[in-house]
């Protein structure tokens, strides 16, 4: 076991950090978040040029064929910079979906287009009122057979689709119905977001990004739109979400590390009672608690990357719930303390501190918050 | 010792309850209980309704237009108002500059300002903190120099709540640079419309703009707008901070949050059952309700002690620390009621008459923003770190 970066990984880290350093300062991130789209198509093209969109895509489809460790490296750097582009749903989660369940035709159609930056994806999995339960699916795909072609009709509603409006294509979880009644399990479909009957409303999120509510009304799908059968779907969702959680843990750690740096700088420069407030022991102990929480989270982010491809489903779930629960708690603690240590300044929209706190919160609320994962972990005791 | 409310206390409670039920406008009540944005006009309307009843200044003696109520009656009044969904009475006039004028003001100042506070003809704000003077308030720099028998004021205040709604501000200013910092501070009343006063909003984490920076550029202030002696402002500041601390025990806000948590936890479902039936969630609500009960009885105990002429000391800081933590924990629970629907946030939709949310549940919009906004309660009015220092020093020094 070795936690040091090898030469290739070091090059990857350098590439990402260099690009972020010259293209992604806090002020430009804030301007991006204020635009209607909430991200930059130009940045997206550059991420493609750097090969990062193909990080997880097998070499035969034009990608780098890298694994969870490389995703950790990239996401941690993105976390430091508060990246707003929809990298996670497209380059991490959708790619995993195609790798896990895509037909050869689907893989060779979609994966190269993800690598080139042409197509972005979002995951339409959650439904209103279901909280974090990905198995509670009422959206329905019904088999149809017309004179000209066979296929499906999609009907239903999805909620809190992260970065939904940025995507040209959606991966949608459904019940699967046909002449023989509803099949047990959850199926997955690849749906053109511009297809007739898809209605999407985009909303800003608490952390400056976007999410969407999406209604599907009699959306006609071709037979080859099915990504996973009702038998496969739950497992594929689990794999995609596992990848997503591992990546979010890494992003969170990057955000925590930067937030602690910002806080330490502030404590050293802010003076009250004739001295830097960094000299007060009560505040020093807070910093110690923040560093401790960050180290716990960092350990869990590595553990998540190590377990995310574990073929043992229970072991994988258990590990990712442990990681997500602890990373969520650490993120909240560090965010809350960073604001407190900045005093009133921490409450302002102007400083980056609050935006890091909000991203940490947004990460905790995505794919199950720390309470949810604590409970899920408990099921494996 | 008698730990029960007297029959007069109970009658008084019933009287307040029926008055508020009859007179609190339904639209204001709905906004307050629904955690929608409460506007300046809402606060003013409610204050004027109370004023017409003679209840405009519950904390003041009768001779100054107050009710002359006992501390217990003031608590009962506050509890009932909060419970019914009334907006809070803004503290800047009633609990801050009002008591200062009653204690330190001249006859003329009292006559000029006190009635307009009770009727809400004046809206006051507080000019204490400066960019370089937060926890270390005594290091404040805003200068007031003598000029033609009055003062010329230059400098800046910050974190000024509702300065954009206010027509008066009370300020701590530096009138002497030499000697101990505390000994060179004076207390001035400044009209916001005076030439040279400029308000700049500060956008906060929740995307709201309740706080402001206030700039003073060659602002002329007549001498009769100084309260107390020149360079005696620190005594007044300390007197006022004592008042502010007990006000931010935050019991009213805690109760309102708790009630909202229970409502939402009944409405929202988890795995097909109301969230409030979830054992862990239920326990967390229970824990906070118990802590709130303790907070309430502490306040009753300390108010009674104060009424008996025994001043309270570090206990005020304890109330502030606990009150802020309970509010923040409740804010988190409230946010968790929404599950993943805490993620979308449309700030504009919090205002009255705003366009709809196109299918998003408006009761969940803004819960994460509120959690973020509640982080301020452990910062304002003296950070919890400063409060803990005071508590520790009360026995260690």
**What is the DSSP annotation of B34-77?**
TTPPPPHHHHHHHHHHHHHTT-S-TTS-GGGT-----HHHHHHH
A-chain residues within 8 Å CB-CB of B213?
A: none
Beta-sheet pairing, A121-124 with A169-178: parallel
Q: Which of B243-247, B266-270, B390-394 has the lowest mean pLDDT?
A: B243-247
Q: Are B311 and B320 in contact (CB under 8 A)?
A: no
Q: Which pLDDT score is estimated for A31? A: 96
The count of other CB atoms within 10 Å of the CB of residue A373 is: 25
Establish if A348 touches chain B: CB-CB under 8 angstroms. yes
Distance of CA B203 to the CA centre of its chain: 19
- The dihedral of CA B391, B393, B396, B397: what is its sign? negative
Q: Do A347 and B129 touch (CB under 8 A)?
A: no
Q: pLDDT digit string (tens) for B290-349?
A: 999 999 999 889 888 888 888 888 898 999 999 999 999 999 999 999 999 999 999 888
The pTM for the full model equals 0.95
Over residues A108-125, the pLDDT tens digits come to 999 999 999 999 999 999
pLDDT in tens, A40-91: 999 999 999 999 999 999 999 999 999 999 999 999 999 999 999 999 999 9
CB contact under 8 A, B336 and A131: no
Contact (Cβ atoms closer than 8 angstroms) between residue A29 and residue A20: no
Whether residue B70 is predicted with pLDDT greater than 70 in this model: the reply is yes
Q: Do A206 and B139 touch (CB under 8 A)?
A: no
Binned at pLDDT 50, 70 and 90, residue A294 comes out as very high
pLDDT score at B245: 52
Best to test chain B binding among A203, A372, A376, A378 (most B CBs inside 10 Å): A203
Note the ipTM here: 0.94
Q: What residues of A are in contact with residue B273 (Cβ under 8 Å)? A: none
Q: How much is the pLDDT for B244?
A: 56
Q: Quick check: B166 and B123 in contact, CB under 8 A? A: yes
Burial of B353: CB neighbours in 10 Å, binned 0-12, 13-18, 19+:
exposed
Q: Give me A151's structure tokens.
A: 């296929």
Q: Rounded to an integer, what distance in angstroms lies between the CA atom of residue A31 and that of residue B54?
A: 52
The pLDDT value recorded for residue A266 is: 98
Tell me if chain B has a CB within 8 Å of the CB of A376.
no
| A308, A320 Cβ separation under 8 angstroms | yes
Nearest C-alpha neighbor of A253 from the set A170, A176, A324: A324
Contact A50, A225 (CB under 8 A): no
Q: In this predicted structure, what is the pLDDT of residue B248?
A: 64
Chain-centre distance for alpha carbon B394: 25
Residue B355 has pLDDT above 70, yes or no: no
Q: Read off the pLDDT of each residue in A288-299 and give the average, rounded to a whole number.
A: 98
Residue B383 to residue A349, Cβ atoms within 8 A: no
**% chain A with pLDDT above 90:** 95
Comparing CB atoms, the residue among B203, B346, B384 nearest residue A349 is B203
Whether B352 is catalytic is no
User: How close A10 comes to chain B (CA, Å)?
Assistant: 34
pLDDT at residue B71 tops 90: no
Contact B376 A347 (CB under 8 A): yes
Q: Show residues of chain B in contact with A366, CB under 8 Å.
A: 340, 343
- Report long-range pairs for A140-145 (Cβ below 8 Å, ≥24 apart): A140/A174, A140/A175, A140/A176, A140/A177, A140/A182, A141/A174, A141/A175, A141/A176, A141/A177, A141/A187, A141/A189, A141/A221, A141/A226, A142/A177, A142/A178, A143/A176, A143/A177, A143/A178, A143/A179, A144/A220
pLDDT at B247: 67
Q: Which of residues 72-111 of B touch A (CB under 8 A)?
A: none
- Residues B136-160: tens digit of each pLDDT: 999 999 999 999 999 999 999 999 9
Element counts in chain B: helices (H) and strands (E): 13, 10
- In this predicted model, what pLDDT tens digit does every residue of B84-108 receive, in sequence order? 999 999 999 999 999 999 999 999 9
Q: Is the pLDDT of residue B376 over 60?
A: yes
Please indicate if any CB of chain B lies within 8 Å of the CB of A363.
Answer: no
Check whether B36 has a pLDDT greater than 90: no
Using one digit for the tens of pLDDT, what is the confidence trace for A3-46? 999 999 999 999 999 999 999 999 999 999 999 999 999 999 99
> Is there a contact between B343 and A365 if contact means CB atoms under 8 Å apart?
yes
Give the pLDDT confidence score for residue A279 in this predicted structure.
Answer: 98
**Which of A199, A213, A214, A225 has the alpha carbon at shortest distance from A141?**
A225
Q: Does the pLDDT of residue A192 top 60, yes or no?
A: yes
Q: Which residues 219-248 of A are in CB contact (within 8 Å) with B? A: none
Contacts of B265 in chain A (CB under 8 A): none
Share the mean pLDDT of chain A. Answer: 96
Catalytic position from the list B78, B80, B244, B336? B244
CB B217 within 8 A of CB B198: yes
Q: What is the pLDDT of residues B239-248, one digit of tens each?
A: 887 665 556 6
Question: Count of CB contacts below 8 A, A vs B?
Answer: 121
pLDDT confidence of B35, banded at 50, 70, 90?
confident
Residues for chain B: how many in total?
397
Residue A190's pLDDT is what?
Answer: 98
Which B residues in the span 112-151 are in contact with A, Cβ-Cβ below 8 Å? 129, 132, 134-136, 139
Binary contact (A347, B270; C-beta < 8 A): no
Q: Which of B139, B268, B343 sits opposite A205 (nearest CB)?
A: B343
B209-248 residues touching A, CB cutoff 8 A: 211
Q: Which one of A216, A281, A343 makes the best mutation probe of the B interface by having the most chain B beta carbons within 10 Å?
A: A343
* CB within 8 Å: B344 and A211: yes
Nearest CA in chain B to A370: B336
- Location of structure tokens 């991966």: A171
Number of neighbouring beta carbons within 10 Å of residue A355: 21
How many C-beta atoms lie closer than 10 Å to residue A182's C-beta?
12
Give me the pLDDT at residue A365, please.
98
Mean pLDDT across B228-238: 95
Chain A contact present for B207, CB below 8 A: yes
d(CA A325, CA A337): 18
CB < 8 Å from A in window 314-373 of B = 336, 339-346, 357-360, 368-369, 371-372
Answer yes or no: is pLDDT of A351 > 70: yes
Say what percent of chain A tops pLDDT 70: 100
H helix count then E strand count, chain A: 12, 10
Contact predicate B87/B46, CB 8 Å: yes
- Comparison of pLDDT for A139 and A178, the residue scoring more: A139
């Amino acid at each position: 076991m070795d936690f040091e970066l090898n030469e290739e990984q070091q090059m990857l880290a350098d590439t990402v950090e260099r690009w972020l350093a010259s293209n992604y300062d806090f002020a430009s991130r804030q301007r991006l978040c204020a635009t209607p789209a909430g991200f930059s198509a130009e940045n997206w093209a550059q991420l493609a040029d750097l090969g990062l969109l193909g990080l997880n895509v097998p070499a035969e489809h034009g990608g780098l064929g890298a694994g969870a460790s490389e995703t950790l490296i990239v996401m941690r750097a993105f976390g430091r910079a508060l990246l707003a582009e929809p990298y996670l749903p497209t380059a991490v989660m959708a790619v995993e979906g195609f790798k896990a369940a895509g037909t050869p035709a689907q893989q060779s159609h979609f994966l190269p287009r993800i690598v080139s930056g042409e197509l972005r994806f979002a995951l339409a999995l959650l439904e209103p009122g279901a909280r974090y339960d990905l198995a509670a699916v009422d959206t329905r795909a019904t088999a149809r057979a017309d004179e000209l072609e066979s296929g499906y009709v999609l009907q239903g509603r999805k909620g809190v689709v992260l970065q939904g409006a940025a995507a040209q294509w959606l991966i949608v979880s459904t019940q699967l119905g046909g002449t023989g009644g509803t099949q047990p399990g959850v199926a997955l479909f690849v749906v053109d977001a511009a297809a007739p009957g898809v209605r999407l409303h985009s909303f800003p999120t608490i952390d400056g990004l976007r999410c969407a509510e999406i209604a599907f009304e009699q959306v006609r799908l071709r037979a080859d739109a099915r990504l996973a059968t009702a038998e496969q779907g739950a497992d594929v969702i689990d794999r995609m979400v596992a990848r997503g959680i591992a990546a979010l843990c890494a992003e969170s750690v990057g955000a925590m590390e930067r937030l602690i740096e910002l806080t330490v700088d502030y404590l050293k420069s802010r003076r009250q009672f004739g001295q830097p407030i960094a000299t007060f022991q009560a505040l020093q102990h807070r910093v110690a608690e923040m560093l401790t929480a960050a180290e716990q989270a960092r350990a869990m982010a590595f553990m998540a990357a190590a377990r995310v491809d574990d073929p043992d489903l229970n072991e994988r779930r258990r590990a990712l719930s442990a990681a997500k629960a602890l990373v969520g708690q650490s993120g909240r603690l560090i965010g809350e303390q960073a604001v407190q240590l900045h005093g009133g300044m921490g409450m302002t929209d102007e400083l980056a501190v609050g935006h890091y706190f909000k991203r940490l919160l947004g990460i905790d609320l995505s794919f199950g918050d720390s309470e949810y994962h604590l409970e899920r972990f408990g099921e494996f005791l | 010792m008698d730990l029960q409310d007297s029959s007069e206390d109970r009658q008084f409670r019933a009287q307040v309850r029926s008055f508020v039920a009859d007179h609190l406008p339904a639209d204001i009540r709905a906004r307050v209980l629904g955690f929608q944005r409460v506007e300046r006009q809402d606060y003013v309307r409610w204050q004027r309704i109370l004023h017409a009843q003679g209840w405009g200044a519950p904390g003041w003696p009768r001779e100054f237009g107050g009710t002359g109520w006992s501390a217990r009656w003031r608590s009962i009044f506050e509890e009932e108002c909060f419970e019914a969904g009334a907006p809070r009475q803004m503290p800047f006039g009633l609990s801050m500059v009002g008591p200062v004028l009653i204690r330190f003001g001249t006859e003329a100042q009292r006559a000029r300002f006190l009635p307009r506070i009770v009727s809400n003809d004046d809206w006051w704000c507080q000019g204490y903190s400066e960019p370089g003077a937060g926890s270390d308030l005594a290091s404040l720099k805003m200068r007031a120099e003598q000029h033609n028998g009055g003062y010329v004021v230059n400098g800046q205040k910050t974190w000024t709540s509702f300065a954009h709604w206010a027509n008066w501000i009370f300020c701590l200013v530096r009138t002497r640079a030499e000697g101990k910092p505390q000994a060179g501070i004076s207390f001035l009343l400044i009209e916001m419309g005076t030439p040279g006063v400029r308000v700049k909003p500060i956008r906060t984490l929740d995307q709201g703009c309740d706080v402001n920076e206030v700039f003073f550029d060659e602002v002329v202030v007549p001498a009769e707008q100084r309260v107390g002696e020149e360079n005696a402002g620190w005594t007044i500041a300390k007197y006022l901070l004592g008042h502010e601390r007990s006000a931010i025990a935050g019991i009213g806000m805690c109760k309102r949050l708790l009630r909202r948590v229970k409502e939402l936890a009944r409405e929202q479902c988890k795995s097909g059952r109301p969230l409030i039936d979830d054992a862990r969630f239920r326990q967390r609500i229970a824990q906070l309700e118990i802590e709130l009960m303790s907070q309430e009885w502490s306040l009753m105990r300390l108010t009674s002690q104060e009424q008996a002429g025994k001043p309270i000391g570090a206990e005020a800081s304890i109330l502030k620390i606990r009150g802020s933590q309970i509010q923040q924990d409740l804010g988190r629970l409230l946010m968790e009621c929404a599950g993943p629907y805490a993620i979308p946030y449309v700030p504009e939709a919090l205002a009255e008459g705003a366009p709809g949310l196109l299918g998003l549940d408006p009761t969940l919009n803004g819960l994460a923003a509120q959690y973020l906004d509640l982080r301020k309660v452990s910062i304002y009015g003296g950070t919890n770190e400063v409060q803990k220092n005071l508590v520790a020093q009360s026995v260690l020094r």
